[in-house]
Chain A
């Protein structure tokens, strides 16, 4: 679709872009706008429908007095806020708080550790560098079929030594998640770090900056888009994770949101689908807010940095 629209007139549109006179006739301006920008809106609308249709369905189920996940096909045929107020009386608010805590801590830890590792891989040449990078990525591909047994046993032993990061502790869960901090994240950052000219480091070195100062003071600022991306990816990944979380957090008082919702959904006979749907709708809000907040960092990074550099 994209290709067909723009292939038609690539040359002309490029030419017009650079020569666009301000006093074009309105009709021509509109035509050009449609051709270069307008169709993008159309495109966006098509995919927004694809994106939000299932979510509208969930939203509709969450306000339907008898919502289920199948069979209630007339969207918004009746609306009630009842499930949302009932939700507040369950453990949901607490689960949400736990999720925010665990996901935020994991995201921050992941960003710091992955950025540090990416810096090492990008800026230093050492033996086993290339192999190390590959190793990091491949090790993450190991099937986690037995992870629930292994993590349980590990945290059980850790509990004797470090009760704070043992079984049944949110810190323990965060530590488990941080075990996956390297890997794909490092790779993503590594690629981005490489695009930052080495001359910037070298100039700083000549001014007497240490490697730590270069890292914290210069590089970390220049790579803020990718920090924001990795932070968001890690936050979202943690936020929706329930397989390990339900092994580590054994008690419903400690559940995170994903575990709580999973437990609701796994009731084979009396799953509270409407509560579940309402919970899912509310669960999405922090992620959206976080993305809105991070968006400006994600898309504004290097331009600003480039000017400074």
Chain B
């Protein structure tokens, strides 16, 4: 895997040197990992979780290979992080990818089997008849005993209700039956699946319906309104209307277009991806938002980085007394949960009641969040507030890596502080920080929660075919399209994948630039 590395490695790895404590630490750790893995393999076998089983087997084999082999040294350091990455990040990606090709969402929430069960279960019409119920077990078969006009009746799934001999009746309820067991509520609960599914025909005539119970103590008349024909995969109602399964849309559909609810998930190919390009009204707004999304992401990175860097450089000066306290205060915005900060800013920026207008600006009525351009400015200012402590932190950290000799050399050359900063400090800093700026760009590109909490995308465009506003970035527009009214996970996935492709390509190009930076150093 890596020739260079193994050439450089010393002849003895700690794993083999029995005199070093590291060997025993590793042995114990690997024993634990193996125990955990084996346990998981057996448990997933027992639970029939085949996906997990396969993953565990493969991972365990790789783990043992990586840590017991003399080669693959980088893998020893990468492996733990990669395992977590694979489980928790790649899975989400895979799931999103899969959903993007389905119609998963409102109305298509589950499997076909579940849909049929639910359609049939809810198709029964509740009749007017209801009795206090006694559940009885006779000859190993469950049945219902009820009292009609003082006459005890009994029936099972196969035998319609018929007069019952040997029953003790108390008021309107059967309390005991000779030669049979009356089930107490406790027993009913335990056998509830059977009890809940039991339908006792009221008579020989199917039109009379049957008795069912939902609570174990009352029987109600139930008239099935749909008949399922498994072979033809159709549902027929009492009026003879036939609903055919349409596996392209995931619904039972009648000739006249009527649809039974719920439907089920089906693959829809590229339909979700095409959506953007087929509806010209939507794609127009999408393109409009694209520009703002870029402006927002780039400006957010630049402003937060500039402020964070300036503060980091200034307060890296040991002569400034009290900088320990200053730094802690600069971190404060970061210490507050972000969504809270957005809520607070939203309140403070309210045109009529907000702190900014009322107290700071003496009662001005500036529409910080209601005027399109000001709303954009407000978003950038709030994001600067939220984001500069992060940049301040990483810049402060990265500044420590710049050897003092370099700065001193600059002083010897007679370079001023500004020149020193741009010639020495900044390029050194960029090596470690530039990739993070790209990451920060990507993060802001998809910074849904800020937009959602602060302006909700507004002010909205009047008359748009969906709720879209001047401050909507692409991802918040995806939310508006696919979640605002109907939840359309399939569409949301497809659109977010498209966004990812855009951000991914831009970032990838960006990284190629930073590589050059690194080479210069």
With a CB–CB cut-off of 8 A, which chain A residues contact B515?
Answer: 130
> What bracket does the count of chain B residues touching chain A fall in?
35 or more
- A40-B314, A70-B354, A140-B439 as given contacts; A47 in contact with B330, CB under 8 Å: yes
Partner of B478, one of A145, A149, A180, A188: A145
A36 close to B319 (CB less than 8 A): yes
Would you call B176 an interface residue if the criterion is a C-beta within 8 Å of the partner chain's C-beta atoms?
Answer: no
With a CB–CB cut-off of 8 A, which chain B residues contact A180?
Answer: 85, 88-89
Chain A residue at minimum C-beta to C-beta distance from B92: A150
With a CB–CB cut-off of 8 A, which chain A residues contact B394?
Answer: 188, 229, 233
Partner of B92, one of A147, A194, A306: A147
Would you call A218 an interface residue if the criterion is a C-beta within 8 Å of the partner chain's C-beta atoms?
Answer: no
Partner of B345, one of A7, A54, A190, A302: A54
Interface centre among A141, A149, A178, A236 (most CB of B within 10 A): A141
**In the bound complex, CA of A140 to CA of B339 (Å):** 21
The 8 A CB mask of A135-169 against B (1 = contact, 0 = none) is: 01111111111110111011001101110000000
With a CB–CB cut-off of 8 A, which chain A residues contact B518?
Answer: 194
Would you call B9 an interface residue if the criterion is a C-beta within 8 Å of the partner chain's C-beta atoms?
Answer: yes
Give the interface segment out of B116-124, B258-266, B413-421. Answer: B413-421
B329 close to A233 (CB less than 8 A): no
Chain A residue at minimum C-beta to C-beta distance from B8: A205
**In the bound complex, CA of A151 to CA of B93 (Å):** 11
A157 close to B432 (CB less than 8 A): no
Interface centre among B12, B92, B324 (most CB of A within 10 A): B92
Min Cβ gap A27→B in Å is 19
With a CB–CB cut-off of 8 A, which chain A residues contact B443?
Answer: 141
**In the bound complex, CA of A17 to CA of B44 (Å):** 69
The 8 A CB mask of B240-277 against A (1 = contact, 0 = none) is: 00000000000000000000000000000000000000
Chain B residue at minimum C-beta to C-beta distance from A304: B400
Min Cβ gap A297→B in Å is 10
Partner of A182, one of B85, B326, B416, B475: B85
Would you call A280 an interface residue if the criterion is a C-beta within 8 Å of the partner chain's C-beta atoms?
Answer: yes
Min Cβ gap B337→A in Å is 4
A261 close to B337 (CB less than 8 A): yes
B317 close to A40 (CB less than 8 A): yes
**In the bound complex, CA of A291 to CA of B324 (Å):** 10
**In the bound complex, CA of A17 to CA of B415 (Å):** 12
- A6-B418, A14-B414, A143-B500 as given contacts; A150 in contact with B81, CB under 8 Å: no
For window 323-374 of B, CB contacts with A under 8 Å fall at 323-324, 326-341, 343-348, 350, 353-355, 358-359
> What bracket does the count of chain A residues touching chain B fall in?
35 or more
Min Cβ gap B505→A in Å is 9
With a CB–CB cut-off of 8 A, which chain A residues contact B436?
Answer: 184, 187-188
Give the interface segment out of B47-55, B196-204, B207-215. Answer: B47-55
A302 close to B403 (CB less than 8 A): yes
Would you call B125 an interface residue if the criterion is a C-beta within 8 Å of the partner chain's C-beta atoms?
Answer: no
With a CB–CB cut-off of 8 A, which chain A residues contact B74?
Answer: 120-121, 124, 126, 129
Interface centre among A37, A132, A176, A188 (most CB of B within 10 A): A188
**In the bound complex, CA of A129 to CA of B343 (Å):** 42
**In the bound complex, CA of A7 to CA of B417 (Å):** 8
For window 121-156 of B, CB contacts with A under 8 Å fall at none
Min Cβ gap B36→A in Å is 8
Would you call B426 an interface residue if the criterion is a C-beta within 8 Å of the partner chain's C-beta atoms?
Answer: no
Partner of A181, one of B81, B336, B397, B400: B81
**In the bound complex, CA of A157 to CA of B91 (Å):** 13
B77 close to A303 (CB less than 8 A): no
Would you call A63 an interface residue if the criterion is a C-beta within 8 Å of the partner chain's C-beta atoms?
Answer: no
Min Cβ gap A159→B in Å is 10
**In the bound complex, CA of A19 to CA of B475 (Å):** 57
For window 163-219 of A, CB contacts with B under 8 Å fall at 175-176, 178-184, 186-188, 190-192, 194-196, 205, 208-213, 215
Would you call A292 an interface residue if the criterion is a C-beta within 8 Å of the partner chain's C-beta atoms?
Answer: yes
The 8 A CB mask of A27-53 against B (1 = contact, 0 = none) is: 000000000110011011001101110
Min Cβ gap A92→B in Å is 13
Would you call A283 an interface residue if the criterion is a C-beta within 8 Å of the partner chain's C-beta atoms?
Answer: yes
Would you call B82 an interface residue if the criterion is a C-beta within 8 Å of the partner chain's C-beta atoms?
Answer: yes
**In the bound complex, CA of A164 to CA of B283 (Å):** 46
Min Cβ gap B425→A in Å is 13
A192 close to B398 (CB less than 8 A): yes
A145 close to B96 (CB less than 8 A): yes
B348 close to A137 (CB less than 8 A): no
Would you call B227 an interface residue if the criterion is a C-beta within 8 Å of the partner chain's C-beta atoms?
Answer: no
B403 close to A145 (CB less than 8 A): no
B432 close to A265 (CB less than 8 A): no
Would you call B390 an interface residue if the criterion is a C-beta within 8 Å of the partner chain's C-beta atoms?
Answer: yes
**In the bound complex, CA of A270 to CA of B359 (Å):** 26
With a CB–CB cut-off of 8 A, which chain B residues contact A21?
Answer: none
**In the bound complex, CA of A137 to CA of B4 (Å):** 25
**In the bound complex, CA of A186 to CA of B329 (Å):** 27
Chain B residue at minimum C-beta to C-beta distance from A197: B403
Would you call B22 an interface residue if the criterion is a C-beta within 8 Å of the partner chain's C-beta atoms?
Answer: yes
A141 close to B503 (CB less than 8 A): yes
For window 479-521 of B, CB contacts with A under 8 Å fall at 479, 489, 492-493, 496, 499-500, 503-504, 507-508, 511, 515, 518
**In the bound complex, CA of A178 to CA of B251 (Å):** 40
**In the bound complex, CA of A186 to CA of B432 (Å):** 10
A162 close to B43 (CB less than 8 A): yes
- A137-B511, A157-B49, A240-B337 as given contacts; A303 in contact with B331, CB under 8 Å: no
Partner of B341, one of A54, A146, A239: A54
For window 264-278 of A, CB contacts with B under 8 Å fall at 265, 276
**In the bound complex, CA of A13 to CA of B319 (Å):** 14
Chain B residue at minimum C-beta to C-beta distance from A202: B8
- A57-B355, A150-B95 as given contacts; A240 in contact with B12, CB under 8 Å: no
Partner of A299, one of B99, B336, B400: B400
With a CB–CB cut-off of 8 A, which chain A residues contact B235?
Answer: none
With a CB–CB cut-off of 8 A, which chain A residues contact B350?
Answer: 70
- A40-B314, A182-B82, A225-B401 as given contacts; A143 in contact with B44, CB under 8 Å: no
> Which B residues are closer than 8 A to A by beta carbons?
1-2, 4-5, 8-10, 12-14, 17, 20, 22, 40, 43-44, 47, 49, 51-52, 73-78, 80-82, 84-85, 87-93, 95-96, 99, 307, 310-311, 314-317, 319-320, 322-324, 326-341, 343-348, 350, 353-355, 358-359, 385, 390, 393-394, 396-398, 400-404, 411, 414-419, 428, 431-433, 435-436, 438-439, 442-443, 445-446, 448-449, 475, 478-479, 489, 492-493, 496, 499-500, 503-504, 507-508, 511, 515, 518
Can you sample 25 A-B contacts with CB below 8 Å?
Answer: A6-B417, A10-B417, A43-B314, A48-B326, A51-B332, A73-B359, A75-B359, A116-B77, A125-B2, A139-B89, A141-B442, A141-B503, A142-B96, A144-B92, A175-B84, A182-B82, A184-B436, A191-B435, A210-B9, A225-B400, A232-B393, A283-B337, A287-B335, A288-B332, A299-B316
Task: Please name the 9 residue pairs, one residue from A and one from B, whose CB atoms are nearest each other, closest first.
Answer: A191-B432, A179-B88, A10-B416, A287-B335, A229-B397, A70-B347, A120-B77, A126-B2, A150-B95
Other contacts beyond A143-B475, A146-B96, A258-B337: 20, CB < 8 A? A11-B414, A17-B411, A51-B332, A51-B385, A54-B341, A70-B350, A73-B359, A120-B73, A121-B74, A124-B73, A125-B4, A141-B503, A175-B88, A181-B84, A194-B431, A205-B8, A210-B12, A225-B401, A240-B336, A288-B335
